[in-house]
Amino acid sequence: MLKRLIAAVAGASLALAALSACGSGGDSASGSGSGKLVLGFSQVGAESGWRTANTKDIQEAAKAAGVDLKFSDAQQKQENQIAAIRSFIKQKVDVIAFSPVVVTGWDAVLKEAKAADIPVVLTDRAVDSDASLYVTFLGSDFVEEGKKAGDWLVGEYKDAKEPVNIVQLEGTVGAAPAIDRKKGFEQAIAANPNLKVIASQSGDFTRAKGKEVMQALLKAHKDIDVLFAHNDDMGLGAMQAIQEAGLTPGKDIKIVTVDAVKDGMQALADGKFNFIVECNPLLGGQLMDTAKKVKAGETVAKRIVTVETVFDQAKAKEALPTRKY
């Protein structure tokens, strides 16, 4: 009698599990069961103006493309991204995409997605995992962005006779844009031996941390000529610290940043920043096109590089009125 009862309960729970899997997009042919492509997306967080613009664009693009978007915000924690990807695998979404907060630590979960036969698209940032574990990487060339910032400084100080002291606010430790912008920047400024990085520290891509670190740098160094910040938000936080120290940003200390979000472009147009390298967050349309191609079994390029430009103060004034983000 007891055996029959246990068998009955076991059978029921198995059926229940199968039902719930199907109920949450178990039919991988159509994902949500509505025939729509189901895309699981794990976002880094909401740490900067760039990130919020990127999120908004992905959500709007999904709606416009008729894609059923399962969106997860990891609050800049890798463990939350891994949990979200595992949840997408369990839901049997059609495609998984994510912007990896750091480059390392993804092999296991990417292998789980591969074993579940769910294709993975990287957006925005890269990983150091084997390239066979994802279909494509759609995002900027961060080394090139750092180089553009460095090249501008080399030109700006080509006639300098004295050392030019630079402090660098790096992005999140271990993140691809932080690693590669630093690499491109420092390679570029090597062309002018007067350009010296006297301090370099992470501000985690946030305004608050950028201000805090710049306050400490201003106390430790009385002879800072230039700040290179890996994103506008850290530059804006540092700008406040510079002003509170009684100095004039854009004049006493020149400021070069990356992103070109509205607040950064306003600071540039107002003469408080001196140069911004654009990092385009509007990846949503390309992501939806790529996800549909991947689902349809079409081949996509292993690397899709985002198109972006640079802004000086005059160009920022022209661009601001029509800036999308």
Binding mask 51-90 for ligand GZL (x = CB under 6 A): x---------------------------------------
Distance CA 206, CA 233 (A): 6
CA-CA-CA-CA torsion for 144, 146, 150, 153, nearest 10 degrees? 120
Residue 51 or 147: the one with the smaller Cβ distance to ligand GZL is 51
Using an 8 Å Cβ cutoff, are 244 and 222 in contact? no
Tokens for 289, please give them. Answer: 């096109």
| Residue 279 engages ligand GZL in binding (rule: CB under 6 A) | yes
Q: Which of 57, 68, 94, 124 binds ligand GZL (CB under 6 A)?
A: 124
Q: What is the DSSP letter of 229?
A: E
| Residue 101 engages ligand GZL in binding (rule: CB under 6 A) | no
Residue 31 or 45: the one with the smaller Cβ distance to ligand GZL is 45
Element (H, E) at 313: helix 313-319
Tokens for 185, please give them. Answer: 């920047």
Residue 137 or 152: the one with the smaller Cβ distance to ligand GZL is 137
**Among the candidate windows 13-21, 48-56, 189-197, 211-219, which touches ligand GZL by CB under 6 A?**
48-56
Residue 225 or 259: the one with the smaller Cβ distance to ligand GZL is 259
Write 78-81 long-range contacts (CB < 8 A, 24+).
78/102, 78/105, 80/42, 81/42, 81/44
Q: Which of 259, 260, 267, 295 binds ligand GZL (CB under 6 A)?
A: 259
Distance CA 160, CA 196 (A): 12
Residue 119 or 177: the one with the smaller Cβ distance to ligand GZL is 177
Residue whose token pair is 């610290």: 241
Least distance CB 147 / ligand GZL (angstroms)? 15
- Which residue, among 172, 145, 142, has the nearest Cα to 74 in the 3D structure? 172
Longest dimension (CA), the chain: 95
User: Taking CB under 6 A as the criterion, which residues in 171-230 touch ligand GZL?
Assistant: 177, 205
Residue 47 or 94: the one with the smaller Cβ distance to ligand GZL is 47
**Sequence-ordered list of residues with C-beta below 8 angstroms from that of 304, at least 6 positions apart, any chain:** 136, 137, 138, 139, 286, 290
Please state, in angstroms and as integers, the Cα–Cα distance from residue 218 to each residue in 4, 162, 238, 242, 264, following that order: 76, 20, 10, 8, 21
User: Taking CB under 6 A as the criterion, which residues in 131-170 touch ligand GZL?
Assistant: 139-140
Q: Which of 125, 211, 254, 295 binds ligand GZL (CB under 6 A)?
A: 125
Using an 8 Å Cβ cutoff, are 271 and 313 in contact? yes
Distance CA 126, CA 140 (A): 10
| Residue 47 engages ligand GZL in binding (rule: CB under 6 A) | yes
| Residue 123 engages ligand GZL in binding (rule: CB under 6 A) | no
| Residue 50 engages ligand GZL in binding (rule: CB under 6 A) | yes
Residue 51 or 295: the one with the smaller Cβ distance to ligand GZL is 51
Least distance CB 273 / ligand GZL (angstroms)? 14
Least distance CB 261 / ligand GZL (angstroms)? 7
Residue 77 or 219: the one with the smaller Cβ distance to ligand GZL is 77
Residue 170 or 259: the one with the smaller Cβ distance to ligand GZL is 259
Q: Which of 74, 113, 238, 258 binds ligand GZL (CB under 6 A)?
A: 258
Residues interacting with ligand GZL, by CB under 6 A? Answer: 47-48, 50-51, 124-125, 139-140, 177, 205, 231, 233, 258-259, 279
